[in-house]
A = this chain, B = another copy of it.
Amino acid sequence: MSTLIISEVFGPTVQGEGALVGKPTVFVRSGGCDYRCSWCDTLYAVDKKYKNEWHTLSTEEVWGQIQALSPTPILITLSGGNPALQDFAELIRIGHEAGYTFAMETQGSISKPWFNQVDYLTLSPKPPSSEMETRWDNFDKCLDVARNHEAVSIKIVVANDEDFSWAREVQARYPSYPFYLQPCNLDAEEVTLEQGLQSTRELIDRVVSVGWHDATVLPQLHNILWGTQRGV
């Protein structure tokens, strides 16, 4: 049975971002990431200096934790870090057999065959402000693997003008996928509620002022509701 490196399993709460915003879910956050975004808001699941807080668990142990949190079927969201670094095939198989569904969010830097088992796949390529570089050949491979299901969406966080322009180019490149924009505050540790609301208002104003009508703009709902508190 496969082994997973897990930062945290928590919930049920609701998904705070993107296409599934507001849907009850249990989060499985993997530890470890191939990226190190400048504004990363989950460093505790990314930076190796937190590695001693991560748990090496069997798939069965992770499944046990999920069931303890939600004995009845629910949406399970695989997040990270980058969950694509690991092998969630077995967890998905066991969960599906029990009636649970799976969402996954990944930047699209690494594709895995088991992506085609995920019910809802959010690809979130990182904009220039992240200081990361997108390998579009790898991104395309993620889309290729996922092609058998319809529930792929693309989500991009926008921190500044350059990000905004970049996001428009990405949508032009992949026009057939539902497309989500989310404000990003560069100093993620310190964002107040009012700053989060202000950056959302500004992004909405900007999107509608340029007549960008096929994007959906959403804040990070969980941050608005609970701030940077973990486990909600």
Q: List the interface of chain A (C-beta within 8 A of B).
A: 11-14, 21-24, 70-75, 180, 193, 197, 200-201, 204, 207-208, 211-213, 215-219, 221, 224-226
Please name 14 further chain A to chain B contacts, defined as beta carbons within 8 Å, in addition to the given A11-B208, A21-B22, A24-B208, sorted by A numbering: A12-B213, A14-B207, A14-B208, A14-B217, A22-B180, A24-B213, A24-B217, A74-B213, A75-B213, A193-B193, A197-B224, A197-B225, A219-B221, A219-B225
- Chain A facing B: main interface SS: mixed
Copies of this chain present? 2
Bound CA–CA A129/B180 (angstroms): 34
Taking a contact as CB atoms closer than 8 A, the residue among B13, B23, B71, B218 that contacts A21 in the complex is B218
Bound CA–CA A225/B194 (angstroms): 9
Instruction: Report the nearest B residue to A24, measured CB to CB.
Output: B213
- Residues of B contacting A207 in the complex (Cβ-Cβ under 8 angstroms): 14, 24
